Amino acid sequence: MPQLDKNSRFPYLLALILIVLLANSIRSTLDAYKSVGRLDQAKFELQELKIENERLNNDIWYAQSPEYLQKAAVEELNMAKPGETILIVEQLQPNTEKETVGEEETPTTKPEPLELWAAEFNLQDRYFNWRNRDL
């Protein structure tokens, strides 16, 4: 077997070092691509958060406005301006009891809101006359 001198090991050692450096550079390149993807995702999330922040700031500004305070006082606290009258309309409950047992059930239609208001203020005759008029 021929003997190797010191100089003959040098190319193998150099090739091994180059392979290790190449593997590290490939890994570093892949990590850089992943970082760019994460950066793009973070920029997108930042843009969404800025839009949400602007919307929330607009909501805060509106909630502090006199228009909102007046609307909230009327709707939530049942307050009124001087000279106004508040009407509280109770929700109508449908009759769930069956009147007779032997009759066929006929499908009923849900009354229109205007019909409910007419019934509440005893204006059925006026409502039905208005509804059935010839146009």
- For 82-124, the pLDDT digits (tens) are 887 777 777 777 766 655 555 555 667 777 776 777 777 777 6
**Could you tell me if 82 and 91 are in contact, meaning their C-beta atoms sit under 8 angstroms apart?**
no
Look at 96 and 56; give whichever has higher pLDDT: 56
The one-letter amino acid at 7: N
Per-residue confidence (pLDDT) for residue 1, from 0 to 100: 44
**pLDDT, averaged across the chain:** 79
Look at 131 and 35; give whichever has higher pLDDT: 35
Sign of CA dihedral 73, 79, 80, 85: positive
Per-residue confidence (pLDDT) for residue 26, from 0 to 100: 94
